[in-house]
Amino acid sequence: MNETIMNAIQDDYPEEFAWCYGCGRLNKEGHHFRTKWNGEETVTLYKPDPAHKAIPGFVYGGLIASLIDCHGTGSASLALHRKNGFEPGSGEEPPRFVTASLHVDFVKPTPEGIVLKAVGHVEEIHPKKFKVKVEVFADDSICATGEVTAVVMPQSFGK
Amino acid sequence: MNETIMNAIQDDYPEEFAWCYGCGRLNKEGHHFRTKWNGEETVTLYKPDPAHKAIPGFVYGGLIASLIDCHGTGSASLALHRKNGFEPGSGEEPPRFVTASLHVDFVKPTPEGIVLKAVGHVEEIHPKKFKVKVEVFADDSICATGEVTAVVMPQSFGK
């Protein structure tokens, strides 16, 4: 897979929201998931670290859940940003979403050593609430499917 | 919270299944989640690393999903092991489960710097398939709820 991620939404998150262990560009120890548009779909690519195993040869489910989680919030952010008239790289700060719920179905064991590709389809279910359906591929094989309900981070978040 | 985990089920997993990034005792870089009985409930305690943040002050959802995931498979293993007449520490190898599906509802932001407590209730829905309902507490406050459907690892897993 030679695909690359240019103009990821996470590159444009405001600094105070760029510390997420999954997708924050400022979290030195994190995964640095990066999510972009590919037409009407959203895409995140990630090669798990050898430590991220379930049993030798296969990727840890919690890592796949993490990928789906951040792919979901990133996809929702891409969608609302586009609805507002912006694309990543435009210089505008995108809206930051948090996960209300996460569901993952593990379809089959995910082989190690391969770049995983999460593909998302976003649906607005409320002006501040988006549903993202996600498929995770290893090469051309679906290993997991998921659904994220993401909501715009309330100003009161954590206060 | 002064509670500790003695006789965790993961301490008894066969070596070849003890590499999980979430709960494998042999994975040096992993979380080392450890799950025990507390009466009819199951318990996992875990203090997230400072890097495991969503935004400063609050724990990353993917880490909570990982905790629920391994707590679910560990709880299912405890339950089937007990059904088979064994407790952790008995010297018998417990059955190893894999996750079929994982659901997490994030109830409220999970504060950093606190030992999280996952509490599980296990229900057998088939001799090889168990459902585990999970609540995650920070101090006495529920931050997330979840449900894991765990199945006995098929002998063909990954083959």
What value of ipTM does the predicted structure carry? 0.96
Question: DSSP 3-state helix, strand, coil percentages of chain B (rounded to 5)?
Answer: 20, 35, 45
pLDDT for residue B34: 98
Q: What is the mean pLDDT of chain A?
A: 95
pLDDT band at B29 (very low <50, low <70, confident <90, very high): very high
Q: Between A and B, how many residue pairs show a Cβ–Cβ distance under 8 A?
A: 131
- Report yes or no: A52 and A86 within 8 Å, Cβ to Cβ: no
Residue A2 has pLDDT above 70, yes or no: no
For residue B30, the distance in angstroms to the closest alpha carbon of chain A comes to 7
Q: CB of B46 within 8 A of CB of B114?
A: no
pLDDT at B157 over 80: no
The better pLDDT of the pair A4, B57 is held by B57
Convert the pLDDT of each residue in A76-128 to its tens digit. Answer: 999 999 999 999 999 999 999 999 999 999 999 999 999 999 999 999 999 99
Between CA B87 and CA B36 the distance in angstroms is 10
pLDDT value of residue B154: 84
- Mark yes or no for CB contact A60/B22 under 8 Å: yes
pLDDT of A22 > 80? The answer is: yes
Tell whether A159 is within 8 A of chain B (Cβ).
no
pLDDT value at residue B5: 85
Q: How far apart are CA B120 and CA A91, in angstroms?
A: 46
Residue B1 has pLDDT above 70, yes or no: no
- Residue that the structure tokens 């978040």 belong to: A157
Residue to test with chain B: of A33, A58, A96, A104, most B Cβ within 10 A: A104
The pLDDT-based confidence of A156 (bands split at 50, 70, 90) is confident
Q: Which CATH architecture fits A9-158?
A: Roll (3.10)
Cα separation of A112 and B30, whole Å?
16
Phi (first) and psi of residue B85, to 5 degrees: 100, 15
Partnered with residue B106 across adjacent β-strands are B144
Quote the CA–CA distance of B41 and B27 in Å, as a whole number: 26
Burial A75-93 (b: 16+ CB within 10 A, else e): bbbbbbbbeeebebeeeee
Average pLDDT over residues B8-34: 97
Predicted pLDDT at A89: 94
Structural domain boundaries in chain B: 9-158
Does the pLDDT value for residue B133 go beyond 60? yes
Q: Is the pLDDT of residue B130 over 90?
A: yes
Structure tokens at A20: 């997420």
Q: Which residues does residue B131 pair with via DSSP β-bridges, in sequence order?
A: B123, B149
Per-residue pLDDT averaged across B47-69, rounded? 97
